[in-house]
Amino acid sequence: MAYAAVRVRGKIGIRPQTRDTLKYLRLNRANHCVVVPDNETYKGMFQDAKDYITWGEVDTELVAEMIKTRGRLVGDKVITDEYVKETTSFENIDAFAKAVAEGTFKFKDLAEVKPLFRLHPPRRGFEGIKRSFVNGGALGYRGKEINALIRRML
């Protein structure tokens, strides 16, 4: 299983420790998204940055769609099936996305890939960037609901 994390809030007034955590997650700007494997290190980082990001379990189909539409290589080149086949042991983007979503292969381990997705702001906006998801806002853990948010941002 893998998690997708999206930065919701900007950079003004952040504690230095939280700013460093967001830097380690490669979430340097609002509406940036990363896909990371499920482990205790990332869960701790999510908890530290919970007031600035939202995260949840990502689906295989969504990872494939994100790679096809918003995934980029160095030089702002698009990731193609041919590139994935040349540089990895996977046949196409769908097989690669399945391995990333299951957590068996890290997205950042693809050669010359930019390890984040630059997304649009969500259609119909965020629910509220100062409240947690359980209180009707946009921040914090949201489970499978992250898929609906990211689809609105593609």
The stretch 86-90 carries a mean pLDDT of 86
Q: 153 in helix, strand or coil?
A: helix
Instruction: Tell me the pLDDT tens digit for each residue of 30-81.
Output: 999 999 998 999 999 999 999 999 999 999 999 999 999 998 998 989 988 8
pLDDT at 15: 93
User: What is the C-alpha separation between 42 and 27, in angstroms, rounded?
Assistant: 13
Contact assessment for residue 35 and residue 58, using Cβ atoms and an 8 Å cutoff: yes
Instruction: Tell me the pLDDT tens digit for each residue of 112-128.
Output: 888 889 999 999 888 88
C-alpha radius of gyration, the chain, whole number: 15
| pTM check: above 0.85 | yes
132: confidence class by pLDDT, cuts 50, 70, 90: confident
List, in sequence order, the alpha helices (H) in 71-129: 81-87, 93-102
Contact assessment for residue 142 and residue 55, using Cβ atoms and an 8 Å cutoff: yes
Q: Which of 115, 116, 71, 117 is nearest to 93 (CA)?
A: 71
Query: Is the pLDDT at 150 greater than 90, yes or no?
Result: yes
pLDDT at 103: 81
* Residue 131, Cβ density class (10 Å: 0-12 exposed, 13-18 middle, ≥19 buried): middle
Query: Is the pLDDT at 20 greater than 90, yes or no?
Result: yes
Render 21-70 in DSSP notation, one character per residue. HHHHTT--STTEEEEEE--HHHHHHHHHTTTTEEEEEPPHHHHHHHHHHH
User: What is the C-alpha separation between 146 and 56, in angstroms, rounded?
Assistant: 5
Mean per-residue pLDDT over the chain, rounded: 90
DSSP 92: S
More confident residue, 141 or 126: 141
Please give the CATH topology (third level) of the domain spanning 2-59+117-153: Ribosomal Protein L30; Chain: A, (3.30.1390)
